[in-house]
């Protein structure tokens, strides 16, 4: 049982770091989308990346919740994050 908790704790760290990386990517994509010099094809690709990141973040959160429900001793903490513009203007 202890190995399962350790593995869940490790996955929680990996999940959290993955979400942080995707949020940074989303923020960069929105800068590309909102830049008037961006080509339309690049803008579409950036929006596609935003969508993919959001889908992946949702899946990670589902997985984290499943881990929490399975191994209740593992605590997943999330800092309140202010809206730093990652979801657009």
The tens digit of pLDDT for each residue in 1-20 reads 566 667 767 887 888 899 99
pLDDT in tens, 35-59: 999 999 999 999 999 999 999 999 9
- Calculate mean pLDDT across residues 71-88: 56
State the Cα–Cα distance between residues 46 and 25, nearest whole angstrom: 9
- pLDDT-based confidence at residue 83 (cuts at 50, 70, 90): low
Q: Would the pTM of this model clear 0.85, i.e. be above it?
A: no
Q: Tell the residue number behind the tokens 């899946």, with chain if given.
A: 59
State the Cα–Cα distance between residues 7 and 20, nearest whole angstrom: 20
Average pLDDT of the residues of the chain: 82
For helices 2-34 and 40-70, what crossing angle results, to 10°?
160
């Amino acid at each position: 049982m202890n190995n399962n908790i350790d593995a869940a704790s490790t996955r929680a760290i990996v999940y959290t770091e993955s979400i942080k990386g995707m949020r940074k990517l989303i923020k960069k994509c929105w800068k590309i989308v909102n830049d008037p010099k961006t080509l339309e094809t690049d803008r579409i690709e950036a929006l596609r990346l935003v969508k993919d990141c959001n889908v992946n973040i949702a899946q990670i959160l589902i997985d984290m919740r499943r881990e929490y429900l399975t191994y209740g001793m593992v605590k997943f903490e999330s800092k309140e994050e202010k809206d730093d513009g990652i979801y657009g203007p």
